[in-house]
Amino acid sequence: MTAPSTYGLSSEARNLHWLLTNLVEEVPGLLSVAVVSSDGLLLLSSDPGRNAQARAGHGDRPGGPRGSSADLATVVSGIGSLTIGAAKLMDSGGVKHTMVAMDEGSLFVMSISDGSLLGVHGSADCDMSVVAYHMALFVGRAGHVLTPELRSELRKSLETESAGSPR
């Protein structure tokens, strides 16, 4: 995973990038991390270069490389929508987190206070309790600063980064 460029970003945006980089570096076994807005748009990613490939249609398959943050954002948004609908149907309050255990890995989705979601794709050998703990730290630190203005800045920085990436 590569660290995204934070040149020209506000201190809040740089702080969120730092939190994401810290999450990736502190937790062994993470394959991809994405922050997704409540309307399903990718805001922050652990591998922006691969996101540019996904948008350009290059990679292992049409639409992007398997496991990229762009793909993760799509899955996280869908799971978030499904679980929110289920919680409403069951009259059980808000969804705090979701975990999907698979043969070859795990998917974790955690709500952020503004309706955004943090999604993490982990390897089969990652420690789920460590992942959940570090995700909760990220959400606790990021939730209060993820304003509409900051979401807009993050979206624009991803678009600018993917437009400037080599194809």
Q: What is the pLDDT of residues 134-159, one digit of tens each?
A: 999 999 998 888 888 888 898 888 87
| 4 is a domain residue | no
CATH number at residue 124: 3.30.450.30
| 1 is a domain residue | no
The total domain count for the chain is 1
Q: What is the pLDDT of residues 97-126, one digit of tens each?
A: 999 999 999 999 999 977 899 999 999 999
| 155 is a domain residue | yes
Give the pair of three-digit tokens for residue 29: 């076994």
| 60 is a domain residue | yes
Average pLDDT, the chain: 82
Per the structure, the complete domain to which residue 81 belongs is given by 11-164
